[in-house]
Each structure stands twice: as structure tokens, then as C-alpha cells.
Structure 1
């Protein structure tokens, strides 16, 4: 028995080492050589040096002068984020590859993608002016037959509506079944998250209306419903898959406004959940700026309010820090169910950090990981709320009136 276990561990070790050891190719001088790569193991990101034709919409069979090499994915926010550009890349594949697929994330903000002169994917309408360009965010997986050993990628991008241009996440190349399976898993987790949040929201609204009028229950219900709405208007943009005609500007406003309301409701919820552990002045200082960002988002076009996101992320970090401090105080005084809040906030902090770092381009974004973290967060916070609403909560709390300030003064 021991020998079988050891043999299994050795085989697993060899497998994982072989997976890690397989070096992934990278584009050099506009050429991506994937002949030595095994697509059976995993898809590959088409990162590296692509040719860019700035301020030009070049067709697949045109090769004008003026191209330069840039590292792809390539965002324009460090230069001028408004305008047009064309990227080109040659991908060399094995002749035995019959079918491949590309996983295309959201681009800023409209694109056309050709492979060997065939238009295989597009978002919105690409044009050379703001008036005739139509932005759209619709991540997609597109499969295509491989008829040559060299795939000529031509990617046109137009942006006149967002403060960032270009592309922040890589385009991935792989087997159709692998990429479609990963997409299906991400959609499934997104749908589970939407269903769970909708159920929790409606459940705690019923609790608030018919059982116990605790504002913590109402804030948590609104928090769940708000984030549930945001989950289909961000990242995978499921709402756009269901309604491709939906207005891009309205989509983006929903994505941003639900983020601001989520932070406002989160601090309101935690403050009501642990009322004796909350500094009301600090809560108000962190709460009201969220409504200012909501107003600015509603009153200005996307090219203006998207420029404010990095400023807001600083405020969001301060809100999360305040929530952590409140929960640590609740733990100090052994509030009933505080450990569930701690676990939930830890999951929230990891999810927030993961989303922020992937937004900054530190690593590739995984929808499956992102949605799973938020699912754990809301489930644990729901348990914390259920404990606080239970009849035994008052007797289990060490003190209803002792606060952190009292503790410091008594020292």
C-alpha cells in the first residue's frame, strides 16, 4: 500500500514538474513561435513584441511603413489614450494543428481581429473618429480552422470614450475545448454568485420587513443585490452576452456606480453589525465621498469619470481598512459571530487586492478565482449577520456598552 502511494506521488510530481518546466514561448520581433509548445497542457498568452501602427487602421494585407515594436498587452494610458492603432503578429504553429481558438478579453474600447485575412471577432464599430466609433465590451472565445502553419494576426483598436486605450489583458491561444471549458466554468461561477447574492438579498429583506427590523439586515440585503448586479456588468459582462445591444456608456456607469454603492453599503452594514465598535465620525468621513463619486459618474462622460478610478481606489482601501479595524475591535470584545466576519473580510481583502493588481497588469485575471473569493466573502458575512440577529447574541456578547475607547481609557 505504501509503495502504491509513493509511486502515485512520484508520478504526480513528475507530471507537475513537466507542466511547470515547459517554457512558454514569447513573441520576438513580431513573431510568436509555438511549434515547441504543447497546447494539450494549457493555452498560451500571446505576449511579447507585436508591431504597432500608431494612428492607423491597417488592413490585413497592407504593410505600410512606420511600425514599431511594443510589448503586448499594450495600454495607451501612459501616452495619449484617445485614437486608433493596428497591431500585427505572426504566429507559427505545427502543421498537425487542425483547430485552435483565441480567448479575447475586453479591449479599450472597440476592435476588429483578423487571422490570415479572415475577420473572426469584433466588438463595437471601429472608426477613426469619436462620432462614428461605437465602443463595446464583450469578452469572447472564438475558434477557427488552421489551414496554414503561420497565422497572421491583425488587430485594429479604436478608443475615443475611455481614459485608457489599448488592451490590458493578454489574448490567449489554445485548443477550442480548453478555452471554451474555462469560459463555461467562469460563467457558471458567475451565475452561482448572482443566484446566491439574489437569494441572500431577498431573504434578508424578508427578515427585515417581517421578522426583525434591524438595519444591519437591510444594509446587507442591499449590499448583496448591488454586488449581484455588478457581477453581470463587469469582468465577464454576462449582461452584454444576454443583451449585445445594451448601451456601452450605461454599462460602464452601472459598473462604476455599483462599486461605489458597494463600499458605502459595506461600511454601513459593518457599522450597524458592530455598533459599539465603530467610530461614527470616521464612518461618515469615509461614507459620504462615495456619493460624490456616484454623482460625478452620473453627471460626466466615461472619459472623465474613468480617470478618477485610481483616486477612488485609495478611498476604497481606506474603507476596507476601517472595516478591518471595526471587526478587530469586535474580536477584542468577543462579539458573537465576529470570527465569521473576520474570515469574510479576509476573503474580501484578497479579492479586492487580486482585482486591483490584475487591473494594474501585475498578473492575468482569472474570473473563476475572483468570483469564488467573493462567493466565500458574502457567505461568511451572512453567517456573521445571522449570528448577530439570533436571540442569544446579546447574552453571548461580552458587553453591549463597553467600547474600544472605554477599554483604552480604563488602561
Structure 2
């Protein structure tokens, strides 16, 4: 798992960037103020971006100029647009014009407006369509707005002449900064709905994760990393309302823009000190307190600048802050590399997740500065980071349980030596504690397989990305999603297994076909087998039926086959065979792997003796898979045996009693 988790995050970046754009759209380019859409296919590309060269004048005059025309690229800023007396600059006014030609008049068209800094008025064929904020020739006469409204076109024509008057005296960059989309009303609303839905998904996931860690801190206040991570999550979850669908700007009046914009930038600036505090609490030996103090000071200083100065001033300072953040990101990455080499607990998972978050944050910074033209994905980066922290915490909790077990055993030995009066009570407690430890180990063991399957699927997508189409990628991702759902079901099953060992388990037996059940198990383990180029043959006939608990039966093959894969070398083979007998059905799982040392065979099915070793690719395990198989088969009053020769392979044979069914009679194995 240690080597596959980083691969998972590298693959996840493509999926997240894809999620940041809710819907693909048709994007021809306007030339010299004209966009020709007479070949526009509404069926396949209902949305079109009005990108390209727009006619531009440095005034708010809506009439066509008689002088020579000048053109500007949209999306982009007007900051360096050449004028007769120099360059335009960030603050100022301007009028954009674009003529769109259609092959026929179209009904029910609409515009999805993007980021236009910072107030505008839009006309269609000389008639006012809508305005956003209040445009003016100076700061005092205008009101800024960041809304991204949907504007309905009230005219049907083959020629659409758009005129957009823009004024900006509140931002360092002005003009039409992001794409404007044109399309049928329903498609535009669907685009908007998807964008808003994605924003709420990100908010819900990040905010709940923050609340969860906040609760953890109040339950166990020794570890301060939980509270700083909680505040960091909550801060970035709130920030999601200021980017993407700009929800906060949409629901507030434009007269409050100045205050909302300050909150917007504060959520960005405060993320640095919060993350610094979190990192310091995780790696106190490596992250020096002087650096932590410096980062806190930087965050506090720029927060005061935002609070105390107007937008036209603090936006210049924010550019300096963005540069500082870029340098700090490099420092954080170097620190993570150092922690990885020092083998700090959880450093690999943290480094990969943090690197992904830093890349997404850097994307947003460059996107905000119009250096690149992508979507805002910082919150998606946060989701990947949170996932890495969840795995890291799971590893830490697992290690804590191991240490707890060692302490418990040590304490039990001391009690045995010093007192005999508590022998009976100790035996009772030891039995309960053993059942608890076994159950925890079973959960840890059986959650490893679905996570490995998901990582294998994602690794396949990465390796064959250029050859896979969108449908294939979606199918693989759906398999990963299904595996995740199955892992949740597995937890419920393991709860029942704990009762099974105590003799109070009500097994849900039903008549099933064996072949598809085994094939389903092979599908889950396909990525692991394919990585070693193993040949697996399933010789069970299609007609074989059994009356068993479907989940428990699959669990037998999951453990036997994953064990076989683990100890096979590249190019080895695995055979699954079958034989019917008068009152039972017998199966074998045979591999040509490295085999089992003779001294380990007697303890393979015991939970008291941990028979575990590294696989051929150094895969690790808990040693509880075969005891689990034994417990299930024993619950059905069946039998299991093993034959093995080192370097030649192993053969596991098990049988389960069955009533007389319509089972095909084959030659015995």
C-alpha cells in the first residue's frame, strides 16, 4: 500500500480537474470582432464560448466608432491594451463589441456570464439586456459586482450584435476575465446547476470533515493537529462559496461587495497560518517554530492590510502575498521530502496529499492572476488532501492499537506473576479482549483489499490513459465506486463474523450459482493479478449451485486468491477447480508460487499464531486471512487442508456440506 497510494493521488488529479468543469462546450474563436456560428451543431455542442478577438474602445460609447477599429482577446484583462497615450492599466472603462452570425434565428437562447471586472452593462442589437453592478467613469460613480447571472436573449435574429460596457476601479485587472457561454436556455441552466451542485458537494465534504476533526479534538485534546486541521478545512470549505459558482456574491446585494470581497480574500490569506499550525503540530521536530512564527506573521500582516485598506490598494498587496505563498509552497514540499526521508509516521501520505493541494492552490493563484485559463480547483485539491489524511490517521490508529496490544499483553503477564486471586477474572477479560482485538484486525485486513483494488483501477487508467476513451474511463471509475460501496458492506459483514465465532450468527443462506460469484471475486482482484501478469483459470462449471451465505462464500475466495496472488511470481499461474461428492462440494485453489515454509503450515489457520510474511513484491498482511477462512468453513461444518512445497506452489482444498442438488458430476480432483 505504501507504494500504491502516491500513484492513486497522481491519477486522481485528472479526475478532479475534470470535475472542475461541469460540462464541455463548443469553442470556436472570434476573429476581428466576428464570431461565425453558422456551422454550430446544437445537438452535439449546445453551449458555445464567445472567446476570441472582440472589438474594443476605451470609452462607454455604445455607438459604432468611425475611426480604425482595435481588438482585444477575450477572456483576458485590458491592463496592457495599447492606447494613444500609453497602456490602458487595470482601472478604467471600456466597451466590447462582438457580432455573432447564425445560420437561422434561434429561440430561447441565453448567456452564462463569467467573471467581468467589476461592473458591466450588456446590449443586444442596441437594446439593453441587463446590467451587473453600476458602471461609472470613476470609483465614486460605480458599484462593483461579481455575480455570474444567466441572461435571456429576447430577440430572434441571424445576426446578434453584443455590446458590453465595463468599468473597473476596484480590482488590479479589468475587463472580461472569463469566458461567456451562449446556448439554449435549458442547457445554460443545466450548466449552472451542475456548477452549483459541485460547489455544494465540495463544501459538504470539507465542512463535515472540519467538524469531525473539531469533535475529535474536544474528545482528545492532547493532539492539537485535529483542531488546526478542522479550522483549515472549515476555512477552505467557506472559501468555496467565493469561487466557482460565486454563491456568496450571488445572494448578497452589490452594495455589500466591498465587505464580501474582503471576506473572500481573508479566507484565502488565513489558509496559510492555519495550514502552518497544522503542519507544525504533525511534525514538531522537523518544522521549526521560527518558520511557523514567520508564516503566522505573514498571514496576520496581510489580513490587516485587507481589513484596513480599500480594494484598489489591497489587491496590489495580494499579488505580493501570492508570490510569497509560491515560495512557501516550495518550502513545504521540501519539508515533506525531508520528512519522508526521515521516515516520519504518515509522511508519505501527507506529502502526496499536500503536494496535490499545493498544485491545486497554485493553479487558483495563477488563474486569479490570468496567467493561466483554467477552473478553480483548490477545493478539489483539499478533498484529495483530506482523503490522504484519512488514510494517514487510519495507519496511526492501527499502530496505536498494536502498541496498545503490546502493553496489554505485558500487563497481563505481570498480573499472572504477582497475583493468583484474579486468575478467573483475568481469563474472562482476556477472552473478551481477544475477541475485540481479532475483530479490529479483521476489519483492518478486509478493508485493505478494496482500497488496493481501487488503486489498481486508477493505476490502469493512468497507464492506458491515451488508449482509453471517456466511456471506458467512466466504466473503470464506476468499478472503483462500486468497490468502495462494497467495502462499506464488508464492515457490516465483519460485525456478523464476530458473532459467528461466538456461535450466535444467523447466516443468510440462499441458493447461488458458484461460477459468477468466483468471477466477481476475480474481478475485484484483477488489478493485483494483472500487475504480476498471472494466468488464472476458473474451472468451476456454470451450473454449479450451493446453498450458502453469498457474502461469506465470496470471502473465502477473496482471501485464498489474494493469498495466492501475493505469493506468486510474475508469470505464475493460479487454478480454481471443483469436484462434487455425495454430500458435499469440494474446491481447490492451486498456485505455482513460492510455496509455504513447512514450519508455518501448522499455524496457518490459528488466530493465536500470526503466520504472516511479505509477498513476492513485498506485499504485507496481518496473517488473519486464513483464520477467517477457517472460521467460515468451520461454521458450515466443512473442512480445509493445505499442501505446499517451497518454490513449487501451494494447494488449498476445502469442502462444504450440501444437500442433494442438481450438481454436475465431474471426475474427482
User: TM range, normalised to the smaller chain?
Assistant: 0.7 to 0.9
Q: Does 1:377 align with 2:385?
A: yes
Structure with bigger RCO (C-alpha 8 Å, 6+ apart): 1
**Alignment correspondent of 1:240:** 249
Distance apart, 1:125 and its partner CA? 0.8
1:393 and 1:362 mapped to 2: Cα distance? 49
**Alignment correspondent of 2:337:** 328
Determine which of 284, 306, 317 is the counterpart of 2:293: 284
Q: Does 1:210 align with 2:219?
A: yes
Distance apart, 1:226 and its partner CA? 1.1
Determine which of 346, 353, 357 is the counterpart of 1:337: 346
Deviations 1:66-92 (A, max 9, x none): 552222234133332222211111100
Contact kept, 8 Å, 1:273 with 1:385, in 2: the verdict is no
1:257 and 1:219 mapped to 2: Cα distance? 17
1:96–1:63 distance in 2 versus 1, CA, 3 Å:
closer
1:264 and 1:382 mapped to 2: Cα distance? 22
Q: Does 1:57 align with 2:60?
A: yes
1:382–1:241 distance in 2 versus 1, CA, 3 Å:
farther
What is the alpha-carbon root mean square deviation over aligned residues? 2.6
Runs of 4+ in 1 over 4 A off after TM superposition: 385-391, 393-396
1:23 and 1:280 mapped to 2: Cα distance? 51
Query: How many aligned positions are there?
Result: 371
2:316 and 2:367 mapped to 1: Cα distance? 18
> For 1:162, what is the secondary structure of its paired residue?
coil
1:273–1:23 distance in 2 versus 1, CA, 3 Å:
closer
Deviates more, 1:312-321 or 1:131-140: 312-321
Q: Does 1:272 align with 2:281?
A: yes
> For 2:175, what is the secondary structure of its paired residue?
coil
> For 1:125, what is the secondary structure of its paired residue?
coil
For 1:12-23, list aligned pairs within 5 A: none
Distance apart, 1:105 and its partner CA? 1.1
2:218 and 2:271 mapped to 1: Cα distance? 22
For 1:126-145, list aligned pairs within 5 A: 126-145=135-154
> For 1:341, what is the secondary structure of its paired residue?
helix
Contact kept, 8 Å, 2:27 with 2:51, in 1: the verdict is no
1:193 and 1:120 mapped to 2: Cα distance? 33
Determine which of 208, 211, 224 is the counterpart of 1:199: 208
Distance apart, 1:391 and its partner CA? 6.5
Deviations 1:336-393 (A, max 9, x none): 33333123213212312322333343543335x5543332223323443565577618
2:57 and 2:253 mapped to 1: Cα distance? 29
Distance apart, 1:159 and its partner CA? 1.0
Contact kept, 8 Å, 1:111 with 1:122, in 2: the verdict is yes
1:58–1:70 distance in 2 versus 1, CA, 3 Å:
same
Contact kept, 8 Å, 2:133 with 2:142, in 1: the verdict is yes
> For 1:247, what is the secondary structure of its paired residue?
helix
Distance apart, 1:235 and its partner CA? 3.5
1:218 and 1:389 mapped to 2: Cα distance? 17
**Alignment correspondent of 1:76:** 78
Deviations 1:147-179 (A, max 9, x none): 110001010101122222112212222333333
Q: Structure 2: which 5+ runs fail to align?
A: 1-24, 81-87, 405-669
2:108 and 2:372 mapped to 1: Cα distance? 28
1:178 and 1:244 mapped to 2: Cα distance? 27
Give the structure with higher Rg (CA).
2
**Alignment correspondent of 1:18:** none
